[in-house]
A = this chain, B = another copy of it.
Amino acid sequence: MKTIAIVNMQDYNPGLHILSTFSAGEDQLTNADLCRRNFDELISELSLQKVGEVYHSFEEGGYTAVVCLTESHVSIHTWPEHKLATFDVFLSNFEKDNSEKVRAFFNRTIALFNGTVISKQEIFR
């Protein structure tokens, strides 16, 4: 019984979740269309599969977005009044280990946004 339990734990290995806060310029934090183009480019580059998305712009200037992937999700919530965004990437490991894709999505996003990382946490779920 114990062996089976261990095997089950190894089978269930949902993946790496990066949670971060980064600073960026006003255009990056108010232009939801630019964010969508950046995310779509990365989803294509990394061969991820999008199953739906929500991009919502606030009157105050910021936006909030979630992108649902077969591999899990990406989210961003921007605070242009503070030049900051909270940004998450979580990819499950169904069929293969996607940890390097999580890190690549994170690093490429920061580069595309010309951002500066304020905080970053890697959580293996």
Contacts and interface: CB of A to CB of B under 8 A. Distances in A.
Kindly list the 8 A-B residue pairs having the minimum CB-CB distance in the complex, ordered from nearest.
A52-B54, A54-B68, A66-B66, A51-B56, A12-B82, A66-B68, A66-B73, A73-B75
Interface-central residue, A55, A68, A121, by most chain B CB under 10 Å: A68
A44 B19 CA distance: 27
Interface residues of A, number: 36
Interface of A: 8, 11-12, 14, 17, 19, 21, 51-56, 58, 64-70, 72-73, 75, 77, 79, 82, 84, 86, 88, 90, 92, 119, 121, 123, 125
Tell me if A's interface is mostly helix, strand, loop or mixed: strand
Given A52-B56, A56-B52, A79 B123 contact: no
Nearest to A74: B66
Interface-central residue, A12, A65, A84, by most chain B CB under 10 Å: A12
Nearest to A20: B125
Nearest to A53: B54
